[in-house]
Amino acid sequence: MLNNELFFFFYNLTQRSEIFDQIVIFIADIFPYIVVVLAAVFLLFHNEVLSSPNPIKEFIKKWKEITLVFFSSVLAWFLAYVLKYLFHTGRPFDVFSSVTSLFSETGYAFPSGHATFFMALAFSIFFSHKKVGYVFIFFALLIGIARIVAGVHFPIDILGGFVLGFAIAFFLKNVYPHT
C-alpha cells in the first residue's frame, strides 16, 4: 500500500542520528508553537497594530483579518478532532509493532490536527498576503512531514489534514471576506 510505503520511506530516516532525531522532534513538536507566535506577530505588525499611537483603535480596525486567521485555524483543528473520533484511525506505532515514535502522542491519527491547523493558518494568511502565505505554507508542509518522520502519523493523515485545513480557510474566506 502506497501510504505504508511512503510512511516507511520517511520514518526510516530516523534513529540513525541523535542530532537529526532532535531536529525532527523540534520541527514536529516545538516549532508549531513558534509558528503560531510568528503568525500573531506578523498580523499585528503588518497591520501596524502594535506600532500605532493608539493600538486599541488600530486593532479594532484590523480585527477581522486577525480573528479570521485564528478562527479558521481553531475551527479546522476542532473539526479534525471530531473527524478523528468518527474514523478511529490508529497511529503508525499502534499499527506496526516495529515503529517507535520519537515522542509520545495519543489519540486517533486521521486527520492530523497539526496538519489541519497549520494549513488553515497558512492559507488564511495566504489569501491576504501571498508572499508571507507561501512561508507559512512551507512551515505547514515542514511540520506535516516531520510528524511522519517522527512516526506519529501516516502520510494520509497529513494529507487529510492539509485538505481539511485548506477547505476550512477557503470556505471562511468566501463566507466572511475581510478585505
Average pLDDT over residues 132-157: 94
Grid cell in block for residue 108: 486517533
**Burial of residue 6, with CB atoms counted within 10 A of its CB: 0-12 exposed, 13-18 middle, 19 or more buried:** middle
Is the per-residue pLDDT at 101 higher than 90?
no
Write down the domain spans for the chain: 2-37+63-175
Grid cell in block for residue 3: 501510504
What is the C-alpha separation between 93 and 153, in angstroms, rounded? 9
pTM listed for this prediction:
0.86
Q: How confident is the model at residue 88 (pLDDT cuts 50, 70, 90)?
A: confident
Closest CA to 105 of 32, 2, 20, 159: 32
Q: What is the pLDDT of residue 47?
A: 64
